[in-house]
Amino acid sequence: MTVKKKTTNKNKLWASLALLALFTVLFKSCGIKPNSWQPPTKPEFTDKLKINEELLSSQKIDLNGWYGPEDIVFDDEGNMFCGVHIAENDFSDGKILKITCNGEVEIYYDSNSWVAGLHFDVNNNLIALSHKEGLISISPQKQVTVLAKKDEKGREFLIPNGLDIASNGNIYFSNTSHKSAYNVKFGRKLIMELKEDGGLYKYNPKTNKISTLIDGTYFGNGVVLSKNEDFLLLTETSKYRVLKYWLKGDKKGTQEIFMDNLPGFPNGISIRENGSFWLGFSTARNDMLDNIHSKKFMKKITFGLPEFLQPKQEAFGMILNVSEKGEIISALFDDSGKIIPEAGAVKQNKNTLYIGGDNLPYIGYYSISKD
């Protein structure tokens, strides 16, 4: 009797734990209301996308314990700047770092938040996208001016992301979301939920006016102007594509797909002197995620599962050189992720390509040949 009673109690315990786990999954699954989407069959890694080991020759610039150089810029003297956050997967605090030509790493601006996009204007002001202050300008004397925290409808720029500045001074930038500040869980929700949020914007420094160019994007991310500034590009991370927004000509004010069905999650994008673009990826596409995207219920259940059972961001370094027509010219890989596990930032300075990412504790740099 005693043995049977112990066995019965043990079974009840396991049943209770199983019910608790089930209720936890169901409760967490209520936190997402996903759209259904059937991703196109992902491209094979052949031809111009054939895997190579080019990025394994990259070297590293340590950031002294800081993480997440999502964008990288250089001043006229060759000093490098990047925004960082406090720890791996902790985006609650951050700074802007300056890496001098001598390799010294110092805090340039205490932003108290992660700073994603960076760009110097013609007056050497550092224009930045702070997750706390929005679009800001930092003068050479380090005086800070908040340019914009909200759009015309009063919605906050909670995840301002990529930016570029035109020759006339107009600032173009993306905001990934109006709904929440960035953290890993919310980022995963944005990708799985697949709903339009945030947008693409223009700030006119002469009028101090914000204009919405695209209201609602699918994880709007990197932004770059074309060489002639007749269009700009915006990466849509969760839809594996890049949008083109026309600034001049007959199509002015309209948008179209520049590249679609990409092999990974596009993130940072920048221009080369020859007018082509560097396009970096957070990682390659995930088969599990692609398979459940068309099934709302499965996405809800998956979102409620413990993190270790959810689709993961695998370490996979991938950068494409893309023409002005959206054609792949060449590709650089570290499919092992040993040196370059992600490429959220891709910025060329002279004959070196500098590479950052959301959770990297360093900046990678890769020597490239002249065009």
Q: What distance lies between CA 132 and its chain's CA centroid?
A: 17
- What count of other Cβ atoms lies within 10 Å of the Cβ of residue 347? 25
Contacts of 58 (CB under 8 A, 6+ apart): 334, 339, 340, 355, 364, 365, 366
The partner residues of 265 in beta bridges, in order of sequence, read: none
Map residue 361 onto helix, strand or coil: coil
Least Cα distance to 178 among 196, 203, 193, 197 occurs for 197
Specify the DSSP class assigned to residue 150: B
Give the pLDDT confidence of 243-297 residue by residue, as tens digits. 999 999 999 999 999 999 999 999 999 999 999 999 999 999 999 999 999 999 9
CA atoms within 13 Å, Cβ hemisphere of 89: 5
Task: Say if domain 31-367 classifies as CATH 2.120.10.30.
Answer: yes
pLDDT at 312: 84
pTM: 0.92
Q: Which range (1-10, 71-80, 310-319) has the least confidence?
A: 1-10
Specify the DSSP class assigned to residue 184: H
Strands 90-99, 105-109: pairing kind:
antiparallel
pLDDT at 257: 98
| 312, two tokens | 């993961």
pLDDT at 14 over 70: no
Domain boundaries, the chain: 31-367
Give the pLDDT confidence of 89-118 residue by residue, as tens digits. 999 999 999 999 999 999 999 999 999 999
- What count of other Cβ atoms lies within 10 Å of the Cβ of residue 54? 17
Map residue 155 onto helix, strand or coil: coil
Percent of the chain with pLDDT strictly greater than 90: 85
Least Cα distance to 279 among 330, 322, 228, 234 occurs for 322
281 exposure class (CB count in 10 Å sphere: 0-12, 13-18, 19+) = buried
